[in-house]
Amino acid sequence: MTGVLDDYLIDPEVSLLDKTRMQAQVLLPVLRALRAELGKERADAVVKQALRDWSKQLFAAIADGIEGSPRRKWAAIQKVFGEISGREVAFEIRHHDESALDIDVTRCRFAEFFRALGEPELGALLICAADFDIAAIGAGTVDLERAQTIMQGAPSCTFRYRFAPR
């Protein structure tokens, strides 16, 4: 089931939440040391740039390995990512038709973990950003807007996907 994302998951037996926790646990000591050296703002800017580039390249490389149109590539990745990330959240589908998919996430274990750590920005980089990198694969045919997230402190994450006519 997880086939297309094997390279992202490394080990499909590990839940996405545990994988993200392991990554946070190893990154944080280095990030904290860097903050002590450079100040929080500069250190966080370095990690942000590094992790954004990494995530974009990773999903773009996964998309390259999938046959078909951008829309098809997006659907293949989104299906698996939605499934593995969906296990860690409570959500409601507000609207779904040919041209739109509106989902509100009302509870998120990723956010609970990173907010308890006091590192919601790192959580946003390690997990929330993936949704946009995946949407970018559907270039021109899939658009995602998300006005707020639980990670940022909002009561829900408002995913608003818009699809171009086929």
Q: Residue 31 Cβ, how far from other proteins at the closest point, in Å?
A: 8
| 87 scored as a contact of other proteins (CB under 8 A) | no
- Asked if residue 128 lies in contact with residue 150, where contact means CB atoms within 8 angstroms, the answer is no
10 touches other proteins by CB under 8 A? yes
- Residue 29 interacts with other proteins (CB under 8 A): yes or no: yes
Task: Answer yes or no: are the C-beta atoms of 103 and 93 closer than 8 Å.
Answer: yes
Q: Does 22 bind other proteins (CB under 8 A)?
A: yes
The residues facing 163 across adjacent strands are 142
**Residue 48: CB minimum distance to other proteins, A:** 10
Q: Is 150 in the site for other proteins (CB under 8 A)?
A: no
For residue 29, give every residue at least 6 positions away whose Cβ sits within 8 Å of its Cβ, in sequence order, or none: none
Nearest to 142 by CA among 48, 70, 59, 45: 70
Nearest approach, Cβ of residue 152 and other proteins (Å): 21
Shortest reach from residue 58's CB to other proteins, in Å: 8
CA distance 33 to 43: 9
Smallest distance, other proteins to C-beta of residue 15, A: 8
Interface mask (CB under 8 A) for other proteins, residues 109-138, using x and -? -----------------x------------
Residue holding tokens 């995530």? 55
Residues 6+ apart with CB under 8 A from 143: 135, 161, 162, 163
Which residues make up the interface to other proteins (CB under 8 A)? 10-11, 13-15, 18-19, 21-23, 25-27, 29-34, 37, 46-47, 49-51, 53-54, 126
